[in-house]
Amino acid sequence: MSYVFPPAPPVCVPVVGSTNTFAVHRIYCVGRNYVEHAQEMGHSGREAPFFFMKPADAVLVAAPGVTAVMPYPSLTHNLHHEVELVVAIGVGGSNIRAADAAAHIFGYAVGLDMTRRDLQNDMKKQGRPWCIGKGFDHSAPIGAITPANQVPGIADAAIRLQVNGQDRQRSTINKLIWNIAETIEQLSMAWTLQPGDVIYTGTPEGVAAVLRGDTLAADIDGLQSLHIRVE
């Protein structure tokens, strides 16, 4: 096989305790999956899960111990942080039942669903797709993936985000409206999941703007921390 130009290499995320890396296939995101965040965005918090996607090459890898640099994106004056648990799929499938979901999970990571909130809000008002607000370059920072068997307590873990050392978001994974297994069940009805898919499971309350020069520290108990600086 020859190509008219060299194909892009796969986007790869480090795996804790392994020299193998996790090649990303697709990035799925869940909207409004914590009650208090749904309320702060003006919604009831009681609705079926809904999904949007980011391109795989929107991933910004923050390797362990490294503060990754995120360029401040174009067109926005209101770049928001959303700290999220990321579920990494290792075994694909469609119509996966919640009771079987665990067998499809490779591991977990800390992620940031960075959002051009002003553009997302404009698109919402006009009933247009969110892509420009959500799926831009470097919009999906992610830390190293920890294999699932090393984090048995993930369902009750604490999740938090600090900006310049100050608390911004703080919650627990057990406050997800649609838990990890239910999210996989619902998502796999709509798309055939593949090894390499990652799911950003939604953010708790406290989303707010970041500015050039800000440093973000995102943590979930049992997982590798994620550090980025916006420049």
Which residues would be at the binding site for Mn ion (CB under 5 A)?
A: 82, 113, 203
As measured in angstroms, the least distance from the Cβ of 78 to Mn ion is 15
Give Cα 151 distance to the centre of its chain.
18
| Integer Cα distance of 190 and 73 in angstroms | 30
As measured in angstroms, the least distance from the Cβ of 19 to Mn ion is 31
As measured in angstroms, the least distance from the Cβ of 113 to Mn ion is 3
Contact present, 161 and 111 (Cβ < 8 Å): no
Identify any residues that bridge with 5 across adjacent strands, giving them in sequence order.
Answer: none
Between 86 and 145, name the residue whose CB sits nearer to Mn ion: 86
What would the two tokens of residue 227 be? 């550090």
Q: Burial-class residue 123 by CB neighbours within 10 Å (0-12, 13-18, 19+).
A: middle
Between 13 and 140, name the residue whose CB sits nearer to Mn ion: 140
Between 16 and 41, name the residue whose CB sits nearer to Mn ion: 41
Any residues with CB less than 8 A from the CB of 225 and at least 6 apart, and which?
64, 110, 143, 217, 218, 219
Between 14 and 135, name the residue whose CB sits nearer to Mn ion: 135
* Residue showing the smallest CB distance to Mn ion in the complex: 113
| DSSP for 134-173, written as a single string | HS-TT-EEEEPBEEGGG-TTGGG-EEEEEETTEEEEEEEG
As measured in angstroms, the least distance from the Cβ of 104 to Mn ion is 21
As measured in angstroms, the least distance from the Cβ of 82 to Mn ion is 4
**Cα angle 154-159-162, degrees, rounded to a multiple of 5:** 155
Between 15 and 34, name the residue whose CB sits nearer to Mn ion: 34
**What per-residue string of b and e applies to 153-180 under the rule 16 or more CB within 10 Å gives b?**
ebeebebbbbbeeeebbebbbebbbbbb
Between 50 and 69, name the residue whose CB sits nearer to Mn ion: 50
As measured in angstroms, the least distance from the Cβ of 152 to Mn ion is 25
